[in-house]
Amino acid sequence: MDSPTPASARISIIGAGPGGLTCARILQQHGIPVTVYDRDPEANSRNQGGSLDLHEEDGQLALREAGLLEEFFALARLEGQEMRQMDPAGRVLDHHLPDEGETVSPEIDRGQLRDLLLRSLVAGTVQRGRTLESVSGPADGPRTLTFTDGTAVEADLVIGADGAFSRVRTAVSSATPRYTGVSFLEAWFDDMEHAHPELSQLVGKGSAHIADGERGLFAQRNSGGHMRVYIMQRVPVDWIAANGLRPEDTEGIRGHLLSEYAAWSPQILRMITDNDGAYVDRPLFALPVPHIWEHSPSVALLGDAAHLMPPLGVGVNLAMLDASELALALVHSSTIDDAVHSYEKSMLPRSADMAQKLEGGAEHLLSVPDSDEI
């Protein structure tokens, strides 16, 4: 079939994360209708995750295109750019304090960013409780989206913003994420200034990273007096069960971790022992490098659906830059096919280059920094 014009096309975005919502916002600003489908039944039905640093050259650029940069800075934490590098004894090896007014990469809670984008959309744009089961139909469209509730819709363009284990990706690529060999265990801390004053002083207002070559910790302050700590280990993907433990066995997991981190200082170990609530297992996956696919005029991928990489501060920024570039390509192209071609011409080389730079980067999170890195 002939590729339709963007203004007349049925455009469906799968996934209401920062990438999908940014794309929808910019399209609507230019009068292009779009529908976002998301599996969550409510906007706040699950925890949205920790803090994000949005960079001037990508995440902030996308928000500027979306007309939301000023509102972002009203929420962002400039002090969150503080970063401490420590050793397992608790000695500070390096300490970055942001300059007054520095805006290179301010922090914002993922939930706050999501809510900012949601508020900017036309009412009814996001259809909730819609879990995608499959994408079918010819490559030149229209595509049929079938959901697990038995409903189906047709789309002239399907935008996959549905994350690491994207269902949209399967329409154009057979690639699947692979376990990196490194796993995060997330721990939450509440009311830092009163309940955890020593840890608050240790970490500061931003983030702190500690590693010994085999294991590590990454602590990150969030808004509202909260903090998240990511306990990083080189372990099998099923390490909890392999050690005779269950995810809900908080005390058992804590005891195992204390034996693994036994050589670390008691002060640092409080990041393992003093958390409020259960741990959350988050094994790290990445797509093959490079991840490319045969062009389809009816499917576009962005963010982790296109280029899942280790979590080294680029994921959400690349997703939002992808979203901005795809939306603007649709605004300025005469057909959907032309827009996807234009978008992929810049996105694929950029993502391949970054993925190559970060390949094996999960291991870097565990490494002791060289003296010239400090």
Pair (218, 164) in one structural domain = no
Determine, yes or no, domain membership for 320.
yes
Pair (184, 252) in one structural domain = yes
Pair (159, 249) in one structural domain = no
The answer to whether the annotation marks 304 as part of a ligand binding site is: yes
Determine, yes or no, domain membership for 92.
no
Determine, yes or no, domain membership for 373.
no
What is residue 4's predicted lDDT score, i.e. its pLDDT? 95
The answer to whether the annotation marks 110 as part of a ligand binding site is: yes
Pair (161, 253) in one structural domain = no
Contacts of 372 (CB under 8 A, 6+ apart): none
Mean pLDDT per block of 10 residues along the chain (374 residues) reads: 92 97 98 97 76 95 98 96 96 94 95 96 97 97 97 98 97 97 96 96 96 95 96 97 96 97 96 95 95 96 96 90 98 98 97 90 80 46
Pair (353, 207) in one structural domain = no
The total number of structural domains in the chain stands at 2
What is residue 370's predicted lDDT score, i.e. its pLDDT? 62
Pair (139, 198) in one structural domain = no
Using one digit for the tens of pLDDT, what is the confidence trace for 56-85? 999 999 999 999 999 999 999 999 999 999
Considering the chain, what is the average pLDDT of its residues? 94
pTM: 0.95
What is residue 48's predicted lDDT score, i.e. its pLDDT? 66
Pair (214, 71) in one structural domain = no
Range of the domain at 149: 6-78+104-176+287-360
Pair (197, 311) in one structural domain = no
Which of 242, 257, 285 terminates a domain? The answer is 285
The answer to whether the annotation marks 46 as part of a ligand binding site is: yes
Pair (146, 215) in one structural domain = no
**CATH number reported for the structural domain that contains residue 234 in this entry:** 3.30.9.30
What is residue 372's predicted lDDT score, i.e. its pLDDT? 46
Pair (348, 268) in one structural domain = no
**CATH number reported for the structural domain that contains residue 168 in this entry:** 3.50.50.60
Which of 233, 261, 285 terminates a domain? The answer is 285
Determine, yes or no, domain membership for 188.
yes
Which of 255, 285, 315 terminates a domain? The answer is 285
